[in-house]
Chain A
Amino acid sequence: MSEPSQPLDLELDCRGLACPLPVIRLAQRIGEVPVGGLLGVAATDAAARVDVPAWCRMRQQEYVGERAAPDGVPVFVVRRLG
């Protein structure tokens, strides 16, 4: 597991987007971070808390956990494994 403080390689602003758009954005942009790097999805949609980890399981990526953006919005962090 990562250090909680490891910086994100990319953060997606999915505030205000309803499901499944945050997960679609995640899938579209994960290729932009290096293998082993971190991508964060900042999302206000309640489903993202379940669906980002579920996507990681289905797509063989690692769900790292949840952080809070400065505005308090949760950021769901994914490590690219491949």
Chain B
Amino acid sequence: MQTHEASLSLKQVTDSRRLSESTDVFRGWVGRRVSRVGRPYGSGVTDSPGAGAATAPRYLDAASSEPLHPAARETLLAALDHGYADPRRLHRAGRNARLLLDNAREVVAQCLGVRRDEVSFTASGTDAVHRGLLGLLRGRPHHGQRVVHSAVEHSAVLHAARWAQAPQAPPLSVGCDARGRVSPEDLAAAVAEAGGAAGVGAAALQAANHEVGTVQDVAGAAAALAELEVPLFVDACASMGRLPLPEGWATAAGSAHKWGGPAGVGVLLVRKGARWATPFPGDDRVDERAAGFENVPAALAAAAALQAVVAEREETAARQHALVARLRERVAAEVPDVEVVGDPDHRLPHVVTFSCLYVDGEALVTELDRAGFGVASGSACTASTLEPSHVLAAMGALTHGNVRVSLTRESTADDVDALMAVLPGVVASIRERLGA
């Protein structure tokens, strides 16, 4: 990757950071209290066991957002000074921005094993999901426009499918088993029942589930759908960079902040030859598949993070997979009346989800935060909609008392042990308070 130009001029960035601190844009920030959320990467500093969780918060919510990779930070800071110009302009600054954007696309293509012209940068993972799915409908306007999706897709997919629906053809949802696995046969059967290509514009299946980590049989689904000539959209936001991209998609989506890039960068993949047309107003930018002024520095930083993460992938995945296996085992053994959900083996390396009977999810997240652990929950009381997680509901899993723990690339066995040192007590105290 040609980022040698971008390594200049870090001094200016440092100066501007000092300025922002003095003008108090960080007012109200809790960074001083939870200063270890962003770990001192590469400094060799580690927690001493028993150092007291309250003074050393542990961020265990990488599936929501992975802390910025040091490779991304370095690239972003440098690229802010070099990628500011309009990449469509012919002047030197514009050509520099264009060069960085092209580099970013090239790197992402290499990391994912796709063609450079199949990669577009979007404003977010959600934007990539919307464009990926809806663009397949728009690309085949004389085919059916119905969407068939799995019941465990991310809400971005569900919202897009509902937004697209033709009056007589609401989206069709295909269920899963108790581990969250969607059967390719069920998906194909639903598509066939809805009239095949005459009734269905696209099918959607995630690469891996964002809440419970279960990996889906995308290749199997793609093969079944190919016979029906219905294109497949794959939401790969949860797995991109962590697992190889599955085969068989017509379009796919990823999200940089989930692999350690900055927020505000999505990746839209459109397979060469796939029939895709923009579902939203066009824009006369560098890339006809996206809209708006390109965020060149963030795209380059996202690419740098992806490159670093993919280079470390085997080692990271093996380590995280083993830590999660240990956590799954210990939660099941040490917390009474608990259900560990998701596929125990065919799963994302870094995610484990469990539900505790007679516990409210909000209290659990709050108490664990107080004890120094940042985790997520799919329980209704923690959701903006006050609805329980549609993923847990589709699996028939308990939705209350739910916690999702997801490891960052820096998480250690000590983090797992520290969590297990407090979790049974936290659960017991909430149960006692609720009179369970």
Contact = CB atoms under 8 A, between A and B. Distances in A.
A47 B358 contact: no
Nearest to A50: B393
Contacts of B387: 46
A20 B388 CA distance: 11
Contact of A55 (B360, B398, B435): B398
B399 A54 contact: yes
B393 to A, nearest CB: 5
Interface string B348-367: 00000001011110000000
A58 B381 contact: no
B96 interface: no
Nearest to B431: A24
A51 B356 CA distance: 11
Main secondary structure, interface of A, reads helix
Contact of A20 (B339, B396, B434): B434
B358 A19 contact: no
A53 interface: yes
Contacts, number: 66
Main secondary structure, interface of B, reads loop
Contacts of B436: 20, 24, 27
Given A45-B380, A46-B387, A53 B396 contact: yes
B360 A19 contact: yes
Chain B interface residue bracket vs A? 20 to 34
A69 interface: no
A58 B337 contact: yes
Nearest to B361: A19
Contacts of A27: 357-358, 436
A48 to B, nearest CB: 9
A10 to B, nearest CB: 19
B386 A46 contact: yes
Contact of A50 (B392, B434, B435): B392
B399 A23 contact: no
B337 A51 contact: no
Contact of B397 (A21, A46, A49, A54): A54
A18 interface: yes
B429 to A, nearest CB: 15
Contacts of A47: 379-380, 388, 399-400
B401 interface: yes
Interface of B: 337, 339, 355, 357-360, 379-381, 386-388, 392-393, 396-401, 434-436
10 contacts: A19-B379, A20-B357, A20-B360, A23-B400, A24-B358, A27-B358, A49-B393, A50-B399, A51-B399, A54-B339
Interface of A: 18-21, 23-24, 27-28, 45-47, 49-51, 53-55, 57-58
